[in-house]
Structure 1
Amino acid sequence: MSKVVKLERRDVIAIVTVNNPPVNALSAAVEGGILECINAAIDDSKVMAVTLTCAGRTFIAGADITEFDKLPKASAWNDLLAAIENSPKPIVAGIHGTALGGGLELALVCHFRVAINDAKLGLPEVKLGLLPGGGGTQRLPRAVGPELAARMIVSGDPISATEALKFGLIDELVEASETGSEAFARKVLAEKRPLRKLRDDSSKLAAAKADRSIITNAVASMTRRARGLEAPFAAAEAVRAAVDLPFEEGLKKERELFRKLVGGDQSKAQRYAFFAEREAKKVVGIPEGTKPRLVERVAIIGAGTMGGGIGMSFANAGIPVTLIEMGEEQLKRGMRVMQKNWEASAARGGIPADAPAKCMAMINGMVGIENVRDADLVIEAVFEMMAVKKEIFVQLDQFAKPGAVLASNTSYLNIDEMANETKRPQDVLGMHFFSPANVMKLCEIVRAAKTAPDALVTAVTLARKIAKVPVVVGVCDGFVGNRMLDQRDKQAQKLLFEGVLPQQIDAVVTQFGLPMGPFAMSDLVGLDGAWRSRKRMGIKSEIEDALCEAGRFGQKAGKGYYRYEGGSRAPLPDPEVEKLIAETLRRLGRKPHAVGDDEMLERMMYPVINAGALILEEGIGTRPGDIDVVWLYGFGWPIYRGGPMYWADQVGLNRIADRLAFYAKKTNDPSLEPVSLLKRLAAEGKGFATLASAVKAA
């Protein structure tokens, strides 16, 4: 009856099957097709029951996000929900893969639901700055109770089919969704089960009506990390409405909140971020049909913080790792740290109790670089010194097997120089993991001048396999993330020399939405490494040098720009630092002066945008969205602001260019002058988004 939905009858059972690959998203065509099939089944006198199932690898995994701004479809969506819910014949949803968002809302209006054992069910709209707009906030609390519903809706995290069965979201676990739902429909008919409409069943709301703390505590636990976000709090309000209001009034409240969010700036930014991440997976300049090389074992050189974290990431994904160190003691220390990290995660309930032993079994610790021989991918994670890294690549050229991909985890250094130390530069690239590597999701994949397409595809594929978000970048000092971050930190340091205190500068950054300011971040990383590098190069940074000379190396020393008490990681302003800054300024003849929060924000963030524009101009980054993904996953840029390049378009490039020129003159800093691409776009009244359109067109 439809290109994407078909109807067939097996004696008294009508089977409605959605086939809209890859994830059976709810487009207008799918919704219309389902409605047509459901109505036909209801009108067919020979049909006694209906099943709703999906072809392919999943049940309906959500709405077609590209249609979110086409709100006229809302009435058609509501007609579909009403047709299913009000059907005089039982309708059974058969779920496999994932039933997410509108997919789960569709299942919720069915009278019964069955699922295979490994299915997942959830309402993740909050992650797009939205809440469920098809009755999900009203029906799910009636299905599983408001406490679990609040957890699912406010966090956006799905639950397993086993948990769904336990709490009443599904009626039965089945071996296969299509045959299982058909068998269950026959059981419903044989047992003459009454049709269950969730909208009419408020039995699971009674406890929360009597004890408001049930829902209050559930919402509080889910919104604890939602600083700055609107959607989680709106979602919580909608769930409360399910408890407090009759169904129709609750539904009206849900729709009102949904309309407000879908037209708001935050959801637009979060939807942009979703598409930017999806686009970042598409590597430009790779011949069509390029396949990744086979990788069965990975070798990592260096068992320190970065090497250990990278090793954990591969082991977590079930990929065997050879962890290599130059000495037995360093190797044992690294292995102990990895085991301790896994055991701590298990103690918190983050992984199963037996996971640490299983993960450690994936790690084979060895001494000596010659042990890379069996690896299909080798990642060096040694000191950030070019001479050391070059020597590593000389040895890799000797010991690594032909065709192995050779990667550097460098944060700044030139991959081409390392590749030139080998006779196989086509196999060399960068894989810059962000610290801590076993936690942070970003991996900058650095394409060197001679990197082969299949080597690049191999690195991107593997990064995704170990749950990282890969972004392909070019070779330059600091690549994309650190090159831009350095501009912010440079301006933050300049503000110190104007008498602004670290806590004032950091507060501006965190109020903007980033998780940590530049000086708290410096304390976390440690001040001593940069201090030693400056001394080697004969460079001075008077305030930070003075901190290091006083033994203030950051969190590990219990004091840096801030003080840290009792092993806590919470930064506390320190009068000693204020005194040190004041004394340094007096010695340098600098006069402190007040700087407003708006000026501080502009002086730190606009140079970041300027650096991003230069990165695009030079071709180091392919798309503005790639830069945004780097900042979202590498530095915790607030997702409700989309990313620095998206945010710049909202601010207006003309304003940013004007203010940069103003600050360049005010602070006598030529590096703040807007780069040519930024000036051109500003003069033409365009934004960075126009560059993304050009890449797609190409």
Structure 2
Amino acid sequence: MSDLIHYRLEEGLALIGLDRAPVNALDQTLRAALSDACERAAADPRVLAIILHGERELFSAGSDIKEFGTDASFAEPDLPSTLTRLAAIHKPVIAALGKVALGGGLELALACGYRIGEPNLRVGLSEINLGLLPGAGGTQRLPRLIGVESALNLILSGKIIGAENARLLGLLDRIAPSAERLLDEAREYAYELIACRAPARPVEAWPEPGEGLPDDFLARYRAEHEPTWKSRLAPRLVLLALEAACLLPLDEGLLKELALFRQAESSRQSKALRHVFFAEREAARIPGVCADLPLRKIMRVAVIGAGTMGGEIAMSFANAGIPVALLESDGQALDRGLTQIRGNYESSVRCGRLRPEQVQSRMDLIFGTLDYADLSEADLVIAAVFGTPEVRQQVFRTLDKVCKPGAILATNISSLDLDAIAATVTRPHDVVGLHFFSPASAMRLVEVVRGEVTAPDVLATVLDTARRIGKLPVISGVGSGFIGNRMFEPYAREANRLVLEGATPAQVDRVLTELGLNMGVFSMLDLAGIDMGFLACDSNRAGISHDASYCRLGEELHAMGRYGQKTGRGFYLHEGRNRKDDAEVIALAERLAGELEIPRDPMDDQEILERCLFTLINEGIQLLDEGIALRAGDIDLVWINGYGFPAHLGGPMHYAEQLGLGNLLVGLQRYRQTLGEYGETWFKPAPLLERLVAAGRKRIERF
């Protein structure tokens, strides 16, 4: 028997324990060992029932993602055929589910006749997050167990649910009283099944999944949900697989599911989402920071600035149970900030995301103050204050005096020089950037900015702390705008220029959202506030290059008091949640184009897409060359999680690789030639891109 499987015979029971550290990933070697063990138990007349379990408590986190897209994915024995043979065993098979049963791990459990879980078990079919669908029986066995609608919602959401919800849905037959009792309870369950001569598989709750459903159920489901899927392939394939479950016998449905899975696995979208999956794991590996480096303890946090961003940052820590001191210089501003925080929580109650009692428990963790002395015991202080560089430097000089030794001093502002801030204090090694994205309590991304002398343990500690509060930290070097805003500048510049040349804000936004972005440039600018963008640019004109044709439109709107959604007018007219084109903006663009002697013509959608994305990608490649970003994958994570770039396209760097680096270079050179002086200025290819193409490289990487 393989070392990957522990096989024990106990008084009529075969206990088969999966032992593939760390998460019992169902790769080819474990599949082979599992298949052999199941065949052995099925053939042994002494075995009356079989229990599958995780030898180290955890059941299985699913398939080995590294195998997807390779020959190993379907190397014999493949998972679908392994589970088909398991489901055909003529003895009761009980899955004892510890900790997690995800993806292929849950499909393994579904192939068993009976399931028991521990109280803290988490289960789910999360293949949709990789651009896939369950390919080992999940789309066929699950609807027969819990019904079509519940199966669709579970598979398409990719959500992970707890043991009690799984039991209520019908995924679990029983829940053990504790994790420690799981295997004993599974044994007792097995003996009960033997005693009552239970069948190897009980009668399914929904043997004919389509029976009783309205004839147009799947069509209506598609019509209702398809707008949110945009260009994503996997949800559509899931729907086809569930249709097969409704129309076909199980064996034929399994074949249809397998064909659909292979289609998804070979798609560019799944390849892109697998790239994102591995990029997230790679982002945790930081040069010069050892995995076993001792961390500083972060028990208390302070946030300076009770404005929108400061309040949201404070909420992020309170949501994770970490006490926060929120400091303001003005009592009325502090009261407004605390009132806004409470309002945000109460809004979550109305939406059903929080219980009323949770509001007060989280508010109790946030302590408002006007006195820097109240920050003396904070382990981490985050400054979220706007103002001149001198004002921000004074904040850090004050923190240097009042904060205890070892406290980490962080800034949230992306338009300042972190090293200049660090130079103003006596402990520059304790200074780091933590750039949260708005709304900070909801957005997953945090850019962690490493200063020239930031200590490795400071970096390791803030990375760990970001994960503790549910964020995805991505390392950036010091540079104006860090990664995300540095790339947003040419992206927004090009969008503004296109409007001066004849496009409309709505046309530009439509082209970008049709690609899959959550929001277009102008919708984003209106949401963030044109005044905030103007202030950030105005305070850092030396750090970010500007062309008159780039900023004039935004500057004129700012001068007119059109700040975006907050004033009801920006690039669009806003009425509640609805936005409309504004002829006044088009007329303004026409006037400015005349003053700047910019020709205006109708704009082609393809040109809009290329000019916005090519400049965005080109800046990202330059960032990588400068060492501001460590990896192309880090850039992709920033733009997916901070700016709504479609994950199923893999982020802008992966998108460029799929487009072809040679094609990208040719496109930049074409616009450089055709756009005259403007093109010569703004479409110069990054030197790294030229080197990559000359060397025949297919991937974006520094060399």
Corresponding residue for residue 350 of structure 2: 347
Gaps of 5+ in 1: none
Counterpart of 2:94 in 1: which secondary structure?
strand
- CA gap of 1:436–1:533, structure 2 versus 1, over 3 A, is closer
Give the CA deviation at 1:219. 5.5
**Map 1:239-258 → 2, pairs under 5 A:** 239-258=242-261
Amino acid at match of 2:653: M
Query: In the alignment, which residue of structure 1 is the partner of 2:337?
Result: 334
d(CA) in 2 for partners of 1:636 and 1:154?
Answer: 20
CA distance in structure 1 between the aligned counterparts of 2:102 and 2:220, rounded to whole angstroms: 25
Q: Which residue of 2 aligns with 1:141?
A: 143
- Which 10-residue stretch deviates more, 256-265 or 667-676? 667-676
Residue 93 (structure 1) shift: 0.3
Out of 554, 557, 561, the residue aligned to residue 547 of structure 1 is: 557
1:468 aligned partner: 471
User: Which residue of structure 2 aligns with residue 186 of structure 1?
Assistant: 191
Q: How does 1:318-397 map to 2 (within 5 A)?
A: 318-383=321-386, 385-397=388-400
Equivalent residue in structure 1 for 2:109, among 107, 110, 113: 107
- Show the counterpart of 1:601: 609
CA distance in 1, matches of 2:107, 2:616: 41
Q: Does 1:579 align with 2:590?
A: no
Q: Which moved more, 1:307-316 or 1:352-361?
A: 352-361
**Are 2:501 and 1:498 aligned?**
yes
C-alpha distance in 1, partners of 2:553/2:101? 55
Query: Within 1, Cα distance between the matches of 2:24 and 2:349?
Result: 35
8 Å contact 2:89–2:200 — kept in the other structure? Answer: no
Partner residue, 1:236: 239
Is the Cα contact below 8 Å between 1:384 and 1:411 reproduced in 2? no
Instruction: Give the one of 436, 444, 448 matched to 2:447.
Output: 444
Residues 208 and 243, structure 1, Cα contact 8 Å, conserved in 2: no
Question: What is the CA-CA distance between 1:277 and the residue it aligns to?
Answer: 1.0
Q: Deviations for 1:132-160, whole angstroms, at most 9, x for unmatched residues? A: 00111010001111111010011211222
3-state SS in 1 of match to 2:78: helix
Which of 461, 479, 486 is the aligned partner of 1:458? Answer: 461
Contact 1:150 1:218 survives alignment (8 Å): no
Instruction: Output the aligned Cα RMSD.
Output: 2.0
Measured in 2, the distance between the counterparts of 1:261 and 1:619 equals 35
Which residue matches 2:685?
674
Sort the Cα spacing of 1:212 and 1:322 in 2 relative to 1 into closer, same or farther, 3 A: farther
- 1:200-219 matches, cutoff 5 A: 202-203=206-207, 205=209, 207-209=211-213, 211-212=214-215
**How far apart in 2 are the matches of 1:534 and 1:20?**
53
Q: Distance in 2 between matches of 1:342 and 1:438?
A: 10
Equivalent of residue 409 in structure 2, options 406, 427, 435:
406
Once the two structures are overlaid, the 10-residue window that deviates more, 633-642 or 654-663, is 654-663
Letter in 1 for 2:623: I
For the residue of structure 1 that corresponds to 2:572, the secondary structure is coil
Shift of 1:644: 0.9
Alignment partners' CA distance in 2, 1:216 and 1:375 = 56
Give the Cα–Cα distance (whole angstroms) in 1 for the partners of residues 169 and 585 of structure 2.
55
How far off is 1:116 after superposition? 1.3
Q: 2:558, 2:313 → 1: CA distance?
A: 29
Counterpart residue type for residue 121 of structure 1: V
CA distance in 1, matches of 2:538, 2:36: 74
In the alignment, which residue of structure 1 is the partner of 2:634? 626
Q: Normalised by the size of structure 1, how large is the TM-score?
A: 0.95
The residue that corresponds to 1:276 in the other structure is 279
Distance across 1 between alignment mates of 2:167 and 2:552: 63
User: Once the 2 structures are TM-superposed, how far is the Cα of residue 688 of structure 1 from its aligned partner?
Assistant: 2.8
Q: Distance in 2 between matches of 1:221 and 1:357?
A: 37
In structure 2, relative to structure 1, the CA distance for the partners of 1:7 and 1:384 (3 Å cut) is farther
1:670 CA displacement = 2.4
Q: What per-residue deviation string (whole Å, max 9, x for no partner) do you get for residues 240-284 of structure 1?
A: 221222222222221111111111111111111111111111112
Alignment of 1:506-585 (within 5 A): 506-531=509-534, 541-565=551-575, 567-568=576-577, 570-585=578-593
Q: Which AA in structure 2 matches 1:631?
A: W
- The 1:202–1:527 alpha-carbon spacing in structure 2 relative to 1, beyond 3 Å, is closer
Contact 1:147 1:214 in 2 (8 A): no
Q: Distance in 1 between matches of 2:532 and 2:312?
A: 19
Identify if the C-alpha distance between structure 1 residues 658 and 384 changes in structure 2 by more than 3 Å, giving closer, same or farther: farther
How far the C-alpha of 1:343 sits from its partner, in A, is 1.4
User: Partners of 1:9 and 1:521 in 2: how far apart?
Assistant: 62
Q: 1:536 to 1:270 in 2, by over 3 A?
A: closer
What secondary structure is seen at the aligned counterpart in 1 of 2:405? coil
CA 469–221 in structure 1, closer or farther in 2 if over 3 Å, else same: farther
Are residues 486 and 208 of structure 1, via their aligned partners in 2, closer, same or farther at CA, if it must alter by over 3 Å? farther
Aligned partner letter, 2:152: A
Instruction: Report the alpha carbon displacement of residue 306 of structure 1 after superposing the two structures with TM.
Output: 0.8
Cα-to-partner distance string for 1:648-672 (whole Å, 9 max, x where unaligned): 1111111212221222233223232
Distance 2:226 2:503 in 1: 33
Distance 1:306 1:690, change over 3 A: closer
Give 1:204 shift.
6.5
Change (3 A) 1:6 1:172: same
- Equivalent-residue separation in structure 2 for 1:310 and 1:36 (angstroms): 53
Question: Alpha-carbon deviation of 1:303?
Answer: 1.2
Deviation at 1:382, TM superposition (A): 0.7
Deviation of the 1:3 alpha carbon:
1.9
Q: Note the C-alpha offset of 1:44.
A: 2.5
What is the Cα deviation at residue 414 of structure 1? 1.0
Shift of 1:192: 2.2
Q: Flag the 1:258–1:534 CA change in 2: closer, same or farther, 3 A.
A: closer
Letter in 2 for 1:190: A
Contact 1:154–1:222 (CA<8 Å) still a contact in 2? no
- Preserved CA contact (<8 Å) 2:513 2:519: yes
Q: Is the 8 A contact 1:325 1:369 kept in 2?
A: no
Structure 2 contact 18–54 (Cα < 8 Å) conserved = yes
- Show the counterpart of 1:616: 624
Instruction: Give the secondary structure class of the aligned counterpart of 2:440.
Output: coil
Distance 1:469 1:536 in 2: 28
SS in 2 for 1:470: strand
Q: Distance in 2 between matches of 1:277 and 1:222?
A: 28
| Deviation, structure 1 residue 74 | 6.2
Tell me the TM-score normalized by structure 2.
0.94
Could you tell me which residue of structure 2 aligns to residue 19 of structure 1? 19
Q: Cα gap change, 1:596/1:224 in structure 2, threshold over 3 Å: closer, same or farther? A: closer
Q: Distance in 1 between matches of 2:217 and 2:418?
A: 55
Paired position in structure 2 for 1:47? 47
Partner in structure 2 of residue 195 of structure 1: 200
Local SS of the residue matching 2:101: strand
CA contact (8 A) 1:327 1:367 kept: yes
Matched length? 688
